[in-house]
A and B are shown apart, each in its own frame.
Chain A
Amino acid sequence: MIEAILISVIIAATPILIAALGEVVAERSGVLNLGVEGMMIVGAVTAFATAQITGSPYLAILTAALAGVAMAGLFAILAIWLATNQVATGLALTLFGLGVASLAGESFVGRPGVKLGDIAVPYLSDLPYVGTVLFAQSPLFYLSIALTVGVTVFLFRTRAGLRLRSVGDQPVAAHALGLKVNRIRTLAVLFGGLCAGIAGAQLTLVYTPQWIDGLSAGRGWIALALVVFASWRPTRVLAGAYLFGAVTIAQFHAQAFGVDIPSQFLSALPYLATILVLVIFASNRRFTMVNTPAALGRPFVPDR
């Protein structure tokens, strides 16, 4: 019973974690991409369609990732190279993504999906208590943990990560140092799209292997909020994502047990709880200030 609950928490947390990690990288470079929800759902429908046609969930992950990158590329052309307003462009990307996914997914509604199988790690999965929970999971769970470590190391331990953060902090100074501000930002945004696409694939391949219109259900927005409240730190994003997952599952069970609270309130609970805890996290002003990309949302146009 507890194992089943823990596993469902992991499944609920994973897509948010992956999408939020991608957005951390994008925002650390100074680009606010509000299109996460759109990129995610396009990834989801792409994965579902690919799995339907080819039967291969791994190919589905790949195409979903590419779809996310394509969406992010669209955003990058507009918001980075043509210096359009990032907020408006991101919102448009989300609306566009939702529309495209709805259109593309129309014929898939009601069809059974292909499920991505779990992979049990030899020996480790036999460990008592934690074995099945942590080591007999979908490969996307392992990927999400690897990404958390990878993004942390990249941002704070490598020169490339330092450059990326510098571009997000003071693009003018970074440009003066000879860094290619907009190229770095584009790569960061594309990485964000890649992650959002994979997060979408997790929704249709692991979470609910079927297609419903509006499947992403605001998870892209939660990922976005998570990034801010987690002060752009990957480890805090991990904590926030799991908190969200835990409360999501808890409210499912509460509803099943017939707790006398309106179900609408219970459904809103994960969002409320996550935001509340992260607001408390974010109350350390100095920590937040040091970690906030100072140039977030501001396009960079080099003067010539």
Chain B
Amino acid sequence: MTPPLLEIRNLTKTFGSLKANDSISLTLGEGEIVALLGENGAGKSTLVKMLFGALQPDSGDILWRDKETVISEPAVARRLGISMVHQHFSLFEAFTVEENIALGLPDMPRAGLAEKARTLSAEYGLPLDPGALVADLSVGERQRIEIVRCLLQNPTLVIMDEPTSVLTPQEVERLFGTLRKLKAEGRTVVYISHKLEEVRALCERAVILRHGKVVETCIPAERTAAELASAMVGGAIANVGRTKRTPTPVLAVRGLDQPAATTFGTSLSDINLDVRPGEVVGIAGIAGNGQSELFAMLSGEELAAKADAVTLLGEPVGRIGIDGRRRRGAAFVPEERLGHGAVPPFDLSDNALVSRHRMSDGTAAPLGFLRHGAARRLAARVIKAMDVRAQGTHSTAGSLSGGNLQKFVVGRELDAKPKLLIVDQPTWGVDAGAAANIRQHLIDLAESGAGVLVISQDLDELFEIADRIAVIAAGRLSPAAPADTLTREAIGLLMAGPAPSSPPSASPPSTSPTHAAGPPSPPPASPAAEHSHAH
């Protein structure tokens, strides 16, 4: 047997009192696709950062091809042949594709780089225009840059951190084709993902981390997703269920138009949408297709041109701001937890105030004074109700892990008992346990008679919780159709939009229908009923 490509022995890394990695040992062979699984905060990122030279282990050894190696910085990792595709892309928006690639490849002459990138991207089915400005590209295209940049270094070990969370099903298929080609060439892939079905389909081995330790190594195809998830969490994960609903909208959007507010923004055109009490409506779409703009219009961060473009509980609110809409019974959870949903340096009780201080529910006193006691009780209530793992109401929002902060932010809005809740990316970067918890709360809220609108890039999530699903592409919203009449492929085609953003390459490895085959087939469900007003 050939020696392993990489062996890790008893790798430990401590941050303060937290053991992020506790004596981790594992081996990677050549030509393997290995999944690294674990909840948020299980230590995946820490481990990977040490392999990539961004962090130094406190103790333990890394053996590269049987030789002890110190990876003191990313450049060392790169020289060994380790390269990484980051979850939050390390791309420079104001730069061109070619400039971005050149930055990542310091040892390669710039002359002819664009040509090389073009050839390689065609070879692996990752079409790219080297002259395009990154800011103008979709998330899927941006990921291609990262992958092409990574492949140009001819790596022997490729680390991918949550690569598919932002891709359409067709793009995921295409990515898997690329990864399988890499494996066939004898390269090793470490694949980090929360999407267990993908891991089962792609990876031949899975290493499961919990609280900084390796708790299990298994063959994912031999396990069910539920088994993998419970191994990650160390207990069973609740199943999420839903029931049927009845009409009368709490939110009605009619002919909403909005030109793009920023240079890199998306214009909204003729958005029509109803959310009825007791139902969960999902909006699918690839990031950057107008989701943030739509959320801003619905929450009142941006005002509509006409008051009746947005109707809340029968009252036109298009010209009313966010506080006014909250007072009328709406609640909002924005996509960005840190800095939008919560103020990172504020403690949780102050953060509870942030969205609630204009409500007449006890946190505000006359003359603009605040009731800190009430705020603390509110925060404590949310922490308890949502099982937020925090030291207490005095913990700062920034000190919570992503999943816990998201639970807190969602819980804060739920605590106001809204009649309409609009959530943008409820479980982005949140581990399976916390995500299930949040989803169940959304469904419970709908069960209690409120309307819930969920904007998400995660199709599995939408199929799990939404009664009806609409798709946003290039600032246009398709009619919402009942979820059980929709297929992933149909949604994927709608997500890709009417015009493909890049031509197909010579022979994409994907086996699914590519989105370049002319205009998409007609919307799957019968959307005619959608536009008939409720009364």
C-alpha spacing A289/B263, complex, angstroms: 8
The answer to the question of A217 belonging to the interface, with a C-beta cut-off of 8 Å to chain B, is no
The answer to the question of B307 belonging to the interface, with a C-beta cut-off of 8 Å to chain A, is no
| Contact yes or no, B106 A178, CB < 8 A | yes
C-alpha spacing A159/B105, complex, angstroms: 10
Interface-facing stretch out of A38-46, A52-60, A162-170 = A162-170
Q: With a CB–CB cut-off of 8 A, which chain B residues contact A173?
A: 89-92
The answer to the question of A4 belonging to the interface, with a C-beta cut-off of 8 Å to chain B, is no
The answer to the question of A174 belonging to the interface, with a C-beta cut-off of 8 Å to chain B, is yes
| Contact yes or no, B78 A294, CB < 8 A | no
The answer to the question of A291 belonging to the interface, with a C-beta cut-off of 8 Å to chain B, is yes
C-alpha spacing A294/B78, complex, angstroms: 27
| Contact yes or no, B95 A165, CB < 8 A | yes
Residues 45-99 of B contacting A (Cβ, < 8 Å): 53-56, 73-75, 78, 86, 89-95, 99
The answer to the question of B103 belonging to the interface, with a C-beta cut-off of 8 Å to chain A, is yes
Shortest C-beta distance, B34 to chain A (Å), equals: 22
At the interface, is chain A mostly helix, strand, loop or mixed? helix
The answer to the question of B102 belonging to the interface, with a C-beta cut-off of 8 Å to chain A, is yes
| Contact yes or no, B56 A304, CB < 8 A | yes
A: interface residue count bin: 20 to 34
C-alpha spacing A168/B207, complex, angstroms: 38
C-alpha spacing A173/B92, complex, angstroms: 8
C-alpha spacing A177/B106, complex, angstroms: 9
Quick one: closest A residue to B56, CB to CB? Answer: A304
| Contact yes or no, A176 B54, CB < 8 A | yes
Residues 494-517 of B contacting A (Cβ, < 8 Å): none
Q: With a CB–CB cut-off of 8 A, which chain A residues contact B106?
A: 159, 177-178
Q: With a CB–CB cut-off of 8 A, which chain A residues contact B102?
A: 159, 162
Shortest C-beta distance, A163 to chain B (Å), equals: 7
The answer to whether residues A169 and B78 also contact, given A159-B102, A177-B103, A285-B263 and a CB cut-off of 8 A, is no
| Contact yes or no, B92 A166, CB < 8 A | yes
Which of B55, B73, B90, B263 lies in contact with A170, CB distance below 8 A?
Answer: B90
| Contact yes or no, A294 B94, CB < 8 A | yes
| Contact yes or no, B86 A176, CB < 8 A | yes
Shortest C-beta distance, A147 to chain B (Å), equals: 23
Residues 185-241 of B contacting A (Cβ, < 8 Å): none
Quick one: closest A residue to B98, CB to CB? Answer: A162
- State the A residues within 8 Å of B (CB): 159, 162-163, 165-166, 169-170, 172-174, 176-179, 285-286, 289-292, 294, 304
A-B CB proximity, top 9 nearest: A173-B90, A178-B74, A178-B75, A286-B263, A176-B90, A290-B94, A169-B92, A166-B103, A289-B263
Given contacts A177-B74, A178-B106, 9 further A-B contacts (CB under 8 A): A165-B95, A173-B92, A176-B54, A177-B106, A178-B53, A178-B78, A294-B93, A294-B94, A304-B56
